[in-house]
Amino acid sequence: MTSTESVVSRYESLNRSIPRIDSEDKVRGTLLYVTDIRLENALYAFTFRSKVAHGKINRIETEDAEKVNGVKAVLTYKDIPSLNGYGAIVPEIPVLAYDKVRYYGEPIALVAAESVEAGLEALSRIKVDITPLPVIRSIEEALDDNAPKIHEKGNIARHTIVKKGNVDKARASAYVVLERTYETPMQKHMYLEPEGGVAYIDENGTLNVIAGGQTPYRDKLQIARVLGISPDKIRVKNSPTGGAFGGKDDVTVQIHLALLAYKTKRPVRLTWSREESGIAGFHRTSSKIKLRTAAAKDGTLLSNEAAIYLDSGAYQSFGPTILDVSIETINGPYRVPNYYIDAYLVYTNNGLASAFRGFGAPESNFAIESMMNELADELKMDPIDLRLKNILRTGETGPFNNIIRHSEGLEEALKRAKEVFYRPDPSTPFARTGVGVAVAIKGVGFGTLPDFPTAAIEVVPEGKVRIMFSNVDYGQGINTGNAQLVAEKLQIPVSQIEVYHSDTKYSPDTGGSSASRSTFNAGNALLAACEKALSELRLEAASYFMTSSSSVTYRGGNFYYKDRSINIYELAKRLRSRGKSTFFEATYEVPRYPEPVEGTLEVPHMVYMYGVMVSKVEIDEMLGKIRPLEVDFIADIGNVINPAIAAGQIEGGVIQGLGYSLTEYYSYDKDGRPLNINYTTYIVPTAKDSPMINVEFVRTYEELGPFGAKGVGEIGIIPVGASISDAVADAIGKRPYRLPILPWDFI
Amino acid sequence: MSYESIIVYSPRSLAEALDILAQRREQIRPIAGGTDVMVMIKDGVLKEKELLNLSYVPELSYIKESDSSILIAVRQIGSPQIQNLGTIGGNLGTASPAGDSIPPLYVLNATVKLQKVGGSREVPIDKFFLGPRKTVREPDELITEIKIEKMEPGTYYFFQKLGLRSANAISIVSAAGSLLLQEGTVKYLRLALGAVAPTVIRAKDAEDAAKDQPLTEQLIDRIARLASEATRPITDIRGTAEYRRKATYGVVYEALYYIMKGMGKKVEYGVESGS
Amino acid sequence: MRVEVELAGPYIYQYGGRLHTVEVDEGAKVEDVLKKLGITERIYIVIIKNGKAAKLDDPLSEGDKLIVFPPVGGGA
């Protein structure tokens, strides 16, 4: 429903752009990020990496390295106590390579030493004998019949077909059928803080791993599997992390740190250099998507045929579920009665692909939204009208047999987009301008995968409410947003709330920060914990007033009975004095469809975010210069908890998407060596490259969400590629089919 | 990444600096702002194990005749952070073909003074560079002074760089020029191009073609074409050779077009003019 | 014979607690323990036996200690 009353906060905590609760420490520079932590007596750790992108390991010699004065450990695969593997879906990524190397920079050995000098000296003395194998650098090469196999099972990590209706029949009756191939690049996250952290064994024998990450409880399980020990003996803390964007969702340094601390019994510090992060960190899957889409003369979509190929790199990590999101979003938010989706996840020797903001959606979005814009051209229709004609309406059955809970926000966003959809005047005699549009859809959370986030609150007699969840605040502002939700629920000021997050020692398992899920999942779990707290405190208040609990009212942190009142902290004191707990934990079951669509692991989702992006660009064809002038982004993210933080998420996503569209292309040379591994050669946009970005939110309310909220983290980046390339097409009359759109591609 | 120890000499006078240089010669690397050298140290590619820190040499820090046109060009270099540290001497010494202060120095007919214990010489800028990262500087010589010609009042000038982003981008193509017009006729044109050949180059054919000709669109097209033909670009991670050639045409064409339309920047001592 | 089983992560809630002692027949394999506990996952599951990674058909002996890890999973 589009409601105006229910979105207004009753207690002045919601819908307000309060400053982030951690901003003072950040502004003062006093906040210690995980890679800033220095432990006394810590060893310096380094990673010995393969200089061959694909090869058979014959021998690893570490004797010379072990002899270096000050070196405390040189570890290879032989030193791994249990499972030599990790990976968010399938544990197939070797912790340390043993039989083969499959990408340049793959870790082969670890060194821990008393000094940096000793560590580097040891690194230089490790010798490996590797027989090189042919390097597979692209999806095409991987799928060639004669291609060498990267894994025993071949070069296809996953293949699935998802279909509905009869595409041949639909196509035969169509007025227009377009067949196009779209390509998107590998993208690096380029967080300001590279992967790193510390590990130590404390006086209780617990192995502490404090490292940049997104999902502490999953990290903990992945570490335990490798060490062969009980997860109970491990603590993982991920905060504060200096940027992640999906690149720290799977394990990076955590297992290496744990292994070194476990073996040496000493504190260990391991931080990747920028270049190491560039070589060995994760990146976004590159994609190649062939589409054949058919429409009737009035613009009604009849069928969509897609062949989706994602480059997973040397191993899978999140590849299988990334492929699912690509499948789910390839039909856009549209009524597509007939489709045939043939999807492949492919192995190459291109490093490690994994999660990146959008998780398969930006890849598919570039294809389907570019296709929609070209269909509008062919049909001589307004591109926004074409969308309005085809979007699924509230209550309709979607392409994956899912019921569309809400789409009125998308309709309103499209109508608003029409008002700003015009071509601006050029500013120089050499410039041409263009306007473009694209629509984004993305599910919130893990679709049909079971998800039971647990969170807790503790009412502290000293006048504070502690809230505890395991999602990581890596800059997106979830600590503030969740504090606002709890403040609203308990009707208390945000200043009375203290946040304990992303630490398996204090925070229950709420899952991680990914999939735009933290507000929805942690928020709902926290609200459930608040309900428990209020119910318990109400009983205590009733006993204090010597009346029945139904006669007691609650307002603004106080319980009232007649002319008497008592606040929640006094009640907490009473409970504590009798040895009762004031800690309340609750688990929320994320609503989901019972079964995934056949052939997928998690399609479809129940709750979707939407975004419409209109972009205006100016192009100097003589110089090959594309300048984004202005972006209007109209989003439906449900009720907006903190408008400034939410708008910041969208602006950040848009700028990251502009890099993806115009300057960023992570690439490898013919030997499989990454070429652009730092900020000098991997070109992320700066503030100076950013256009004016106007973010608007349509007022909607998702009943399943906490106070009507959905999610926001990923929606900003998704439509950028298609929207910008549509504007480029409008300006120069030539449609781009590949991202990024580089100067030498069009002059 | 290299943590090998590096010895840093920080002389307090030019004489002292030249002395150290005379003794250490190939073993020492002069460093001013360090915006390039520090990166080389981090990447482990700096061959010298000693640094000659020039930050505290008072004789190396003056501008005797300031020229506002140069300052305009310098603003497009790197970012404010780079500009605050980087020096023109360093930009010359490091000899990147994409060094952004170099094309303007070609246009200003700069000479570079190289000094050593007991002597000095002046080298014209177009004789100073031998190739990427190579100059005529001998190991015992220090760049101590850069002399530039003062432009005549009324001279048009320009500097334009193309990079993949607006700040902190290494140039894919850069061009600097100066041009004196008399009643619509080109008295002279000087045109220098960066990042399109092993060193910065002067587009002599283009300059010759412009002399004494009326500045028309036809002439601008011819100049831009000759400039483009003068390039010897490479394909690298930042751009293709073909693009560098085409963009050189574009950069030169647009700059001269604005001058023809009276919209170029003009030298007027004391004040800046133009749009 | 009896084997000690520790469940990890969400399995603790799904299968009735963290620590279990499971009685199995002589000659039983790792998979038999999963059956006893009612765990149906076979593909993405990871089992550690006495500190080492184990396969579903690995044989068991009296007093073995197993740690059973659920699929770690995650999507978007």
- C-alpha–C-alpha distance, residues A86 and A252, integer Å: 10
Distance separating alpha carbons of residues B170 and A598, to the nearest angstrom: 50
Give A667's contacts in chain B (Cβ within 8 Å).
Answer: 237
Residue B197 to residue B97: CA distance in whole angstroms: 7
Residue A511 has pLDDT above 60, yes or no: yes
Question: Which pLDDT value is given to residue B2?
Answer: 46
Is some CB atom of chain A closer than 8 A to the CB atom of C2? Answer: no
Q: What is the pLDDT of residues A675-722, one digit of tens each?
A: 999 998 999 999 999 999 999 999 999 999 999 999 999 999 999 999
* Interfacial residues of A (vs B; Cβ cutoff 8 Å): 116-117, 120, 273, 275, 428-430, 620, 622-625, 662-663, 667, 675-676, 679-681, 683-686, 688-689, 743-744, 747
- Give the closest-approach CA distance of A64 to chain C in angstroms: 29
- Domain B156-272 CATH assignment equals 3.30.390.50: yes
C6 contact A CB<8A: yes
Domains of chain A listed by start with CATH number: 23-31+452-587 (3.30.365.10), 39-133+195-271 (3.90.1170.50), 283-447+595-746 (3.30.365.10)
Tell me how crowded residue B59 is: count the other CB atoms within 10 A of its CB. Answer: 13
Do the strands A431-443 and A608-620 form a parallel or antiparallel pair, or are they unpaired? antiparallel
CA A41 to the chain's CA centroid: 35
Give the orientation angle of helix B241-260 with respect to helix B217-230, to 10 degrees: 150
Residues β-bridged to residue A435: A616
Decide the pairing of beta strands C52-54 and C46-49: antiparallel
Task: Report d(CA A630, CA A638) in Å as an integer.
Answer: 25
Q: Which tops the pLDDT comparison, A12 or B195?
A: B195
Q: Residue A76 gets which letter from DSSP? A: -
Residues in chain B with CB shorter than 8 Å from the CB of A662 are 164
Q: What are the strands of the beta sheet with B265-268, ordered from one edge? A: B201-202, B185-194, B173-182, B156-162, B265-268, B271-272
SS3 assignment, position A291: strand
8 Å CB contact between A475 and A469? no
DSSP code for B114: E
How many angstroms separate the CA atoms of A183 and A366, rounded?
A: 8
Q: What percent of chain A has pLDDT over 70?
A: 99
In this complex, the residue of B43, B168, B250 whose CB is nearest that of residue A623 is B250
Beta strands at B111-116 and B119-124: parallel, antiparallel or unpaired: antiparallel
Are A221 and C6 in contact (CB < 8 Å)? no
Cα distances (angstroms) measured from residue A210 to each of A21, A44, A207, B83, B266: 22, 15, 10, 38, 59
For A195, residues 6+ apart whose C-beta sits below 8 A from its C-beta are A211, A212, A248, A252, A253, A271, A272, A276, A277, A281
Q: Are C15 and C38 in contact (CB under 8 A)?
A: yes
String of DSSP letters for A295-339: E-TT--EEEEEEEEEEEEETS-TTHHHHHHHHHHHTTTTB--SEE
Q: Are residues A233 and A221 in contact, defined by beta-carbon separation less than 8 angstroms?
A: no
Cα–Cα distance for residue pair A482/A522, rounded to 1 Å:
8
Is the CB of A683 less than 8 angstroms away from the CB of B254?
A: no
List, for residues A575-587, the tens digit of each pLDDT value. Answer: 999 999 999 999 9
3-state secondary structure of A675: coil
Pairwise CA distance, residues B265 & B135, whole Å: 32
Query: Residues 6 or more apart from A630 whose CB is under 8 A from it?
Result: A424, A615, A616, A691, A692, A693, A694
Cβ atoms A222, A318 nearer than 8 A = no
* pLDDT for A6 beyond 60: no
Find the residue in C nearest to A251 (Cα).
C72
| CATH number for the domain running over B1-56 | 3.30.43.10
Nearest residue on chain C to A82, alpha-carbon basis = C52
For B77-106, how does the pLDDT look when each residue is reduced to its tens digit (9 = 90+)? 667 777 778 888 888 999 988 888 899 999
Cα dist. A261→A94, A96, A252 in Å?
19, 16, 16
Range name among A336-340, A351-355, B267-271 with the lowest pLDDT average: B267-271
Which pairing describes strands B142-147 and B111-116: parallel, antiparallel, or unpaired? antiparallel
Measured in whole angstroms, how far is the alpha carbon of residue A43 from the centre of its chain? Answer: 32
Q: How far apart are CA A154 and CA A143, in angstroms?
A: 9
Cβ atoms A626, A729 nearer than 8 A? no
The pair of structure tokens assigned to A593 is 């469809």
To the nearest whole Å, the CA of C68 is away from the closest chain A CA by 9
The pLDDT of residue B272 is 46
Helix or strand (DSSP H, E) at B268:
strand B265-268
Phi, psi of A566 (to 5 degrees): -150, 140
By the CB < 8 Å criterion, does C65 face chain A?
Answer: no
| Residues of chain C with C-beta less than 8 angstroms from the C-beta of A514 | 74, 76
CA distance C24 to chain A (A): 22
* A4 pLDDT tier (thresholds 50, 70, 90): very low
Q: Report DSSP letters for A213-267, one per residue.
A: -S-HHHHHHHHHHHHTS-GGGEEEE--S-S--TTTTTS-SSHHHHHHHHHHH-S-
Estimate the share of chain B in helix, then strand, then coil, as percent rounded to the nearest 5: 35, 25, 40
**In sequence order, what are the beta bridge partners of C65?**
C4
By the 8 A CB rule, do A69 and A25 touch?
no
Tokens of A249: 């969702």
Determine the distance from the C-alpha atom of residue B64 to the mean position of all C-alpha atoms in its chain, rounded to a whole number: 19
Q: Is C67 on the interface with A (CB under 8 A)?
A: yes
- Which backbone phi and psi does A83 adopt, to 5 degrees? -80, 120
Q: What is the DSSP string of A494-558?
A: GGGEEEEESBTTTS-----S-TT-IIIIIHHHHHHHHHHHHHHHHHHHHHHHTS-GGG-EEETTE
Element (H, E) at A282: strand A282-284
What 8-state DSSP symbol labels residue A105?
A: T
Residue ranges and CATH numbers for the domains of chain C are 2-69 (3.10.20.30)
pLDDT of residue A591: 97
Distance CA A447, CA A601 (A): 9
Q: Assess whether pLDDT exceeds 70 at residue A1.
A: no
No. of H helices and E strands in chain C?
2, 5
pLDDT in tens, chain B (275 residues): 445 688 999 999 999 999 999 999 999 999 988 888 988 888 888 888 899 999 899 888 777 765 544 433 344 566 777 777 888 888 899 998 888 889 999 999 999 999 999 999 999 999 999 999 999 999 999 999 888 888 888 999 999 999 888 888 889 999 999 999 999 999 999 999 999 999 999 999 999 999 999 999 999 999 999 999 999 999 988 889 999 999 999 999 999 999 999 998 888 765 444 43
* DSSP codes joined into one string, B116-146: ETTEEEEEEHHHHEEETTEES--TT-EEEEE
Contacts with B98 from chain A: Cβ below 8 Å: none
E runs forming strands in B142-218 = 142-147, 156-162, 173-182, 185-194, 201-202
Chains A and C touch, using 3 or more CB pairs below 8 Å: yes
Q: Please give the pLDDT value at position B81.
A: 78
Q: Tens of pLDDT along A379-434? A: 999 999 999 999 999 999 999 999 999 999 999 999 999 999 999 999 999 999 99
State how far the Cα of A198 lies from the Cα of A236, in Å rounded to an integer: 10
The reply to whether residue B246 touches residue A663, judged by beta carbons under 8 angstroms, is: no
Predicted complex ipTM? 0.95
Closest-approach residue (CA) in chain C for A514: C76
Residue A521 makes CB contacts below 8 A (sequence gap 6+) with A445, A451, A453, A471, A510, A511, A588, A590
Q: Where are the domains of chain B?
A: 1-56, 156-272
Contacts of A120 in chain B (CB under 8 A): 1-3
Would you call A89 and C51 a contact, using CB atoms and an 8 Å cutoff?
no
- A touches which chains (3+ CB pairs under 8 A)? B, C
Q: In what order do the strands lie in the sheet with A464-469?
A: A497-501, A464-469, A454-460, A583-587
* Residues of A whose CB is below 8 A from C50: 228
Q: Which two tokens stand for residue A487?
A: 């403040």
Please answer whether residues A740 and A665 qualify as being in contact, where contact means their C-beta atoms are separated by less than 8 angstroms.
yes
Candidates C53, C67, C75; nearest CB to A449: C75
Alpha carbon A431 to chain centroid distance? 37
User: A118: burial class by Cβ within 10 Å (0-12, 13-18, 19+)?
Assistant: buried
pLDDT at A5: 42
Asked if A318 lies within 8 A of C75 by C-beta distance, the reply is yes
pTM for this entry: 0.95
The predicted pLDDT at position B65 comes to: 60
Whether residue A129 is predicted with pLDDT greater than 80 in this model: the reply is yes
Helices in A29-115 by DSSP H: which ranges?
63-66
Please indicate whether, in this complex, the C-beta atoms of A81 and C46 are within 8 angstroms of each other.
no
Three-class SS state of B205 = helix
Strand ranges in A583-651 using DSSP code E only, listed in sequence order: 583-587, 608-620, 625-636
Q: How many CB pairs under 8 A join A and B?
A: 72
**Cis before residue B124, ω within 30 degrees of 0?**
no
| Contact partners, residue A370, CB within 8 Å, separation at least 6 | A180, A182, A438, A721, A722, A725, A726, A735, A736, A737
Picking from A309-323, A464-478, A634-648, B87-101, which range would have the lowest pLDDT averaged per residue? B87-101
User: According to the model, what pLDDT value does residue B151 have?
Assistant: 85
Measure the CA–CA gap between A626 and A742, rounded to whole angstroms.
9
Order of strands, sheet of B111-116, starting from the edge strand that comes earlier in the sequence: B119-124, B111-116, B142-147
Nearest to A646 by CA among A190, A5, A20, A8: A20
Rounded to whole angstroms, how far apart are CA atoms A742 and B217? 28
The pLDDT, as a whole number, for residue B74 is 44
